[in-house]
Amino acid sequence: MSVSSRIDAANKSFWDELCGTQLAQSLGVTDDSAESLKRFDDWYFEFYPVVLVVFDAERSRAFWLHVQDYIDRKPTILESEPHPFR
């Protein structure tokens, strides 16, 4: 098999797998239940910080909110909307 063919095969294999599959498997996620989705989301959002930035162009000032900290203080906010993947 040529180098180009091996690269093509590796790319195909990579893009055929749903993003996050290996993480889900390592966390023991085996279904799409609320418990499994929470387990995945809890790990993902703890690992990857989410920051909301609002920029006031008129005053050339920016304000930011570390979303995980906000959710930790107001955990029920996540219960007010359905899970985005459901």
Q: What is the pLDDT of residue 83?
A: 54
Cα distance between residue 77 and residue 70, in whole Å: 9
Give every CB contact of residue 49 below 8 A, 6+ residues apart in sequence.
66, 67, 68
Taking the CB of residue 71, how many other CB atoms lie within 10 A of it?
14
- Using a cut of 0.75, tell me whether the model's pTM lies above it: no
> Which band of pLDDT confidence, cut at 50, 70 and 90, is reported for residue 86?
very low
> Which band of pLDDT confidence, cut at 50, 70 and 90, is reported for residue 74?
confident
Query: What are 37's two structure tokens?
Result: 């989705």
Give pLDDT tens digits for 2-32: 888 888 887 777 666 677 888 889 999 989 8
Residue ranges of the domains in the chain?
3-79
> Which band of pLDDT confidence, cut at 50, 70 and 90, is reported for residue 81?
low
pLDDT at 72 over 60: yes
Select from 9, 29, 32 the least CA-distant residue to 21: 29
